Structure 1
Amino acid sequence: MRPFPGNRLSEAQKIFNYRLSTARRLIENTFGILVQRFRIFRTEILAQPEKVKAIIIASVCLHNFIISTRGAPTDIQELSIGSGISQLGRVGSNNSSRTNQDLRNRLMDYFLSVEGAVPWQREKALRGTL
């Protein structure tokens, strides 16, 4: 999903972009850990989406089991982040479809709602812009 482009964004758009970038960093770091621990994530997984989902869930469960039985890794080489992510090239156009824009707007509304807002989002998203 693309963030809202440009410099003249509304407060809601800035909050959405902040929340999106936070989620993206978390996901990239998580997959970086999985890439380092499990070889299957070093290349494209040639399987049906349901199988790929099962592989990811099993890998996360196995990773958590290893952590709970052996403890967190202390060797920085074991879990260096990013080697699998950095190999990605351009995967699509820069144009987002109307469906994607609608989804982005619905997520933006959710992030501003009582159910979806977090207490610190406004302060973090608008830091330095007021």
Structure 2
Amino acid sequence: MNIVLLALVDDNYCVSYIDVGSNGRSSDGGIFANSSLKKMLENRTHNIPENSVVVGDEAFALKTYMMRPYPFRGVLDRKKRIFNYRLSRARRVSEKFVGILVSRFRLLEKPISLHPDKVDLIIVAICSIHNWLRKTSNYYIRRDSVDTEDINTGEIIPGTWRSELNDQSKKSLRQMGSNNYSRRAEEIRNQYVKYFNGDGSVS
């Protein structure tokens, strides 16, 4: 049985929300739709910074609080491709978070032969320890552990967490599905497109 971890991760690789225990057969979008995180985001009771959004992939619906990429079906114009690229760069944080977690807590590299309820508790404990170490230790995540970008060439330099994962762990960093969105959310996404192609552009 596969167990899904739904986590909201900040730019410092710390977890501000987790929902663990959903069956792996459930869709990621469906798990989010039934989570307390969605309710908190919609009611604005989660403590994400003002004028910020959560970044997701195509498994999640476009919402005023959740940005997702433009679908890759058909041809995207340059501005939309730039938006997708910038969103992809932001989403790398969550990919790196999972990789770092698995490389630091080797228990996660293979199936855990315990009752699902105990596995849920272990995952919660691991995320809590991860946050504590991230905030208190200079050695838990070394500078070379995470991916970095060469500011002169734009090249992504892989972090050591990638080489520390076994093949099965790498396969588990999977891609996800798609969903619908609202007009207001589309307006917000268009504002990001304009910003990424204007004042917020990068070379």
Normalising by the smaller structure, the TM-score range is: 0.5 to 0.7
Instruction: Report the counterpart of residue 107 of structure 1 in structure 2.
Output: 192
Q: 1:83 to 1:111 in 2, by over 3 A?
A: same
SS at 1:97's partner residue?
coil
Instruction: Report the counterpart of residue 122 of structure 1 in structure 2.
Output: none
Instruction: Report the counterpart of residue 126 of structure 1 in structure 2.
Output: none
CA shift for structure 1 position 117:
1.4
Instruction: Report the counterpart of residue 28 of structure 1 in structure 2.
Output: 95
Identity of aligned residues (%): 33
Q: Which amino acid aligns with 1:12?
A: K
Deviations 1:1-34 (A, max 9, x none): 3311233212110101111222223430232112
1:86-97 mapped onto 2 (5 Å cutoff): 86=172, 94-97=178-181
Matched positions, count: 108
Contact 1:41 1:84 (8 Å CA) reproduced: no
Deviations 1:58-114 (A, max 9, x none): 34335643356xx967x9798327828826685xx7223215434432322221232
Aligned partners of 1:109, 1:4: CA distance in 2, in Å? 14
CA shift for structure 1 position 55:
6.2
Q: 1:101 to 1:64 in 2, by over 3 A?
A: farther
Whose strand proportion is higher, 1 or 2?
2
CA shift for structure 1 position 37:
1.2
Flag structure 1 segments of 5+ consecutive residues without an equivalent. Answer: 120-130
Whose helix proportion is higher, 1 or 2?
1
CA shift for structure 1 position 40:
9.3
Instruction: Report the counterpart of residue 132 of structure 2 in structure 1.
Output: 58
Instruction: Report the counterpart of residue 128 of structure 1 in structure 2.
Output: none
Larger mean Cα displacement after TM superposition, 18-27 or 4-13: 18-27
Instruction: Report the counterpart of residue 3 of structure 1 in structure 2.
Output: 69
Q: Which amino acid aligns with 1:113?
A: G
TM-score with structure 1 setting the length: 0.52
SS at 1:65's partner residue?
coil
Instruction: Report the counterpart of residue 44 of structure 2 in structure 1.
Output: none
Q: Which amino acid aligns with 2:193?
A: M
Contact 2:103 2:165 (8 Å CA) reproduced: yes
Residues 1:13 and 2:13 aligned together: no
Flag structure 2 segments of 5+ consecutive residues without an equivalent. Answer: 1-55, 57-67, 110-118, 146-159
Q: Which amino acid aligns with 2:179?
A: N
1:64-75 mapped onto 2 (5 Å cutoff): 64-66=138-140
Q: 1:32 to 1:88 in 2, by over 3 A?
A: same
